Amino acid sequence: MSNLPSNSHSEIIGRMGATIKSGKHWYLALLEAVRDYPEDDYLISGEALDWISLIRMLVTEVGEDLISRTESAQFIKYGRPPLIITQPEAQQLIGELKYKLYLNYLYGVTVEAALIKAVSSEIEKEFISLGLCPPEDRESRAFLEIYESEMDSLYKLFLNDTDDSSLHANTKAEFSYWLFKYRLKKADKEKVASDTKKALDWLNTKSSTFPRLF
């Protein structure tokens, strides 16, 4: 947890703005602000950093005068950072803690959602190969294939397992992270590894359109 005081919001925003004005690229200044900003309000299940909500807030607070509206929109919506940096550079910029929390979000939310889309796509292709129209319920079929349970049943379990007071504003991301933990607990290691690879392969085909911090 950040050791900055809880009232440090204006200090971090001010420092980010001043850093950009001094000549540093806004993206690098943004990553440093992500490192410094207390993560409490942006955690999913206390383990994954909802970095998208955090950077959206930081970009909005700093304002369009200092940050390119086009670049920031491409970054937030499509995961297209305006600068290319290496993983070690990104890790250093956001710090060890935020990097770990970011990876939890990447695998627990982004990759988990990609797994559902990947399996849905496989189901669609299978029907097409048989000369049939893709089923409208392919996402529901994907849930059965991945989790061996209906989506509605899993969502009810998720709500039962989650304290209402701890629910993150982004309930969809919270549910994805819950599904990730559920899959790790229920499936054998080989299936977990296979499904994760399938999701990563699917994301690689969408490399210019899925959100990522760097």
The DSSP annotation for 173-195 comes to HHHHHHHHHHHHHHS-HHHHHHH
Q: What rounded mean pLDDT belongs to the chain?
A: 91
When pLDDT is averaged across residues 3-30 and rounded to a whole number, the result is: 87
Strand partners, 191: none
Asked whether residue 102 carries a pLDDT value surpassing 90, the answer given is: yes
Strands of 9-83 (E only): list them.
43-44, 48-49
Q: What are phi and psi of 82, to 5 degrees?
A: -75, -15
- pLDDT tens per residue across span 67-96: 999 999 999 888 889 999 999 999 999 999
pLDDT at 169: 67
Determine the average pLDDT of the residues in 88-115. 96
**Residue 7 pLDDT greater than 60, yes or no:** no
Q: What SS3 state is found at 193?
A: helix
The least confident of 82-96, 142-156, 193-207 is 193-207
Give the pLDDT band of residue 1 (cuts 50, 70, 90).
very low
**What local confidence, expressed as pLDDT, does residue 2 receive?**
44
- Check residue 165 and report its DSSP letter: G
